Amino acid sequence: MIDSQRHLFDIPEGVAFFNAGYMSPLPKASAEAGEIALRRKSTPWVLSPNDFFTETEEFRKLAAQLIQANASDIAVIPSASYGLAIAAKNISLNAGEEILVLEDQFPSNIYCWQRAAKENDAIIKTVPMPEDRNWTQAVLSLISEKTAVASLPHNHWADGGLLDLVQIRKALDKVGAKLVLDTTQSLGAMPLSVKDVRPNFLVAAAYKWLLSPYSTGFLYVAPDYQNGIPLEENWLNRKGSEDFSGLVNYQDEYQPGAVRYDMGERANFALIPSAIASFQQILDWGIDNIQATLAKRNASLMNELSGTGLTAIPDHFRAGHFLGLEYEAGFPENILEQLAAEKIYVSKRGNSLRVTPHLYNNDNDYERLIGALRRILK
Ligand SMILES: Cc1ncc(COP(=O)(O)O)c(C=O)c1O
């Protein structure tokens, strides 16, 4: 268990923010790194050609550590949809083949596949929400010889329903299908090793559980797809781009590894140093420890809420950092407004009241949330 890390954030004591799954706050150190970084653009003579490379290399190195990959497997991207579009563009699909997704999956991980399906006469196969909440079994039961790719999260974005990606990968291997992961709602708070799960592509937008600025993120590309086609043809991604005086000696070759997939202007001077500070902080805490802490806190929150009629997916089918509270009688229409009036912040996704804490929450936050829910639902 990690003690509350509130002191590392700029959150007033009266605010109980249980909404990391919407948009996490920046740690103070990351905000400071970002302020210094942005100000460099006021004095551009301090930026040298070398700066176009060194910070992104550090970003790649830390991103790789988060998932036990190599730095050269990481591309710098601005959003989950950007990385998923790269996956959908590069995975070949034949007519009649199936793309497996979850019911009510986040749209960034749907629209790109709808386009790919249309262009290739392939079929989107949606795994229906399982009554028993066992997403893993539900996915496994729909994998067949027709499956070309499964494009999945580690946990459902609405209620935290968990997928056993190692089991799913093994089943996909048997039919020669690919695995694409959108880990935006898990990476940083729940451990994942690409060595165990072996995705072909993995994306994470970093503004939630990676505590980073909006418009930062990364794409992991397995070695078998590192020769594919990028979305953009950016000059920095080509061989020899370090030599600014030779840029019009146009190059057919890319830089090695996943760099070819980097977004244009990937040397994002204002935001990358802030993301680096956040990734470093997460690695210092340890993702295992973050998950253990948030899982324990969420479990005791459920205990404290017993007798209210609120339920959640049982622990073994749910990501520990996520709690999708359900209420059979139906939540009052204005429950978010009522909570916000007390400066308590959660989200509503589908039928779930989504509670997504982080290490900045403290005992007082939990007591206030429990008290408010008891009052509103009595
Ligand atoms: C599962 C998931 N993926 C991706 C995103 C963000 O997508 P994008 O970076 O394409 O805006 C969200 C935002 O809520 C999300 O919940």
Put simply, whether the predicted model's pTM sits higher than 0.85 gets the answer yes
List the beta bridge partners of residue 126: 101
Report residue 12 as tokens.
Answer: 């007033």
**Is there an atom of ligand 1 within 6 Å of 106 CB?**
yes
Average pLDDT in the chain = 97
The span from the CA of 119 to the CA of 93, in Å, is: 9
pLDDT of the residue at 71:
98
Where does the pLDDT of residue 162 fall: very low under 50, low under 70, confident under 90, or very high at 90 and above?
very high
> How far does residue 87's CA lie from ligand 1's centre (Å)?
15
Where does the pLDDT of residue 351 fall: very low under 50, low under 70, confident under 90, or very high at 90 and above?
confident
pLDDT of the residue at 349:
87
> How far does residue 104's CA lie from ligand 1's centre (Å)?
13
Mean pLDDT in residue range 183-195: 98
Least confidently predicted of 71-75, 83-87, 120-124, 236-240: 236-240
**Is there an atom of ligand 1 within 6 Å of 80 CB?**
yes
Contact 169/179 with Cβ under 8 angstroms? yes
> How far does residue 184's CA lie from ligand 1's centre (Å)?
6
Sheet with 98-102, side-by-side order of all strands: 74-77, 217-221, 201-205, 178-182, 147-153, 98-102, 123-127
Query: Quick one: DSSP state of residue 259?
Result: G
**Is there an atom of ligand 1 within 6 Å of 205 CB?**
yes
Which residue among 185, 214, 216 has the greatest number of ligand 1 atoms within 8 angstroms of its CB, and so is best to mutate? 185
72 HSE (CA, 13 A, CB side): 9
3-class SS of residue 217: strand
List the beta bridge partners of residue 349: 352
* Nearest atom within ligand 1 for CA of residue 81: 10
Residue nearest to atom 11 of ligand 1 (CA): 79
> How far does residue 350's CA lie from ligand 1's centre (Å)?
16
Which residue among 84, 113, 157, 183 has the greatest number of ligand 1 atoms within 8 angstroms of its CB, and so is best to mutate? 157
Question: Is residue 217 pLDDT above 90, yes or no?
Answer: yes
Q: Express each pLDDT in 270-319 by its tens digit.
A: 999 999 999 999 999 999 999 999 999 999 999 999 999 999 999 999 99
Q: Express each pLDDT in 125-146 by its tens digit.
A: 999 999 999 999 999 999 999 9
For 296-341, the DSSP string reads: HHHHHHHHHTTTTTEE---GGGB-TT-EEEEETT---TTHHHHHHH
